[in-house]
């Protein structure tokens, strides 16, 4: 299994990403159904088989890795200029992760599962019940 990590350019908060993600696929006429979120990128991942149906895309918002979305499929597509690209088709739910500062980078990168932050409510009760703001501060201090 392999994940992807991507900067969420032009989005300042997780709530802002949630508010417009359903509109985004319609910007280029993609139609993969109602219950998905689609992001278009220039290149098809070479490790496609390790990602599809197994990995997630981790979103960096305002310099902090804040959430992930399971990747359902990577679909070849053609952009408005006739160039090959890739549509990343994701489950609609944003899963909050333990916040982690992340410096800027171009495009997307692979993210090894061992380096991925755990979900904020990891199912073990360790992170549940606390506020996101407190979790972010603890992560910034290196205590979470």
- DSSP characters for 72-136? EEEEEEE-TTS-EEEEEEE-S--EEEEEEE----SSEEEE-GGGSPPBTT-SSSSSTTS-HHHHH
Distance between CA 29 and CA 48 in Å, rounded?
A: 23
Structure confidence at residue 120 (pLDDT) = 87
Helix/strand/coil for 105: coil
pTM for the model stands at 0.82
The more confidently predicted of residues 26 and 139 is 139
Lowest mean per-residue pLDDT among 59-63, 71-75, 81-85, 120-124: 120-124
Distance between CA 95 and CA 130 in Å, rounded?
A: 15
The yes-or-no verdict on residue 112 having pLDDT over 80 is yes
């Amino acid at each position: 299994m392999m994940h992807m990590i991507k900067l969420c350019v032009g989005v300042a908060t997780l709530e802002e990403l949630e508010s417009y993600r359903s509109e985004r696929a319609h910007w280029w006429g993609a139609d993969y159904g109602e219950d998905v979120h689609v992001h278009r990128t220039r290149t098809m991942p070479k490790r496609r088989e390790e990602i599809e149906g197994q990995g997630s895309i981790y979103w960096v918002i305002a310099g902090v890795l804040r959430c992930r979305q399971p990747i359902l499929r990577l679909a070849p597509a053609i952009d408005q200029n006739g160039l090959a690209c890739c549509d990343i088709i994701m489950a609609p739910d944003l899963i909050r992760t333990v916040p982690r500062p992340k410096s800027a980078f171009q495009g997307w990168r692979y993210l090894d599962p061992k380096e991925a932050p755990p979900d904020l409510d990891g199912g073990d009760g360790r992170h549940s019940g606390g506020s996101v703001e407190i979790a972010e501060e603890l992560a910034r201090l290196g205590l979470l």
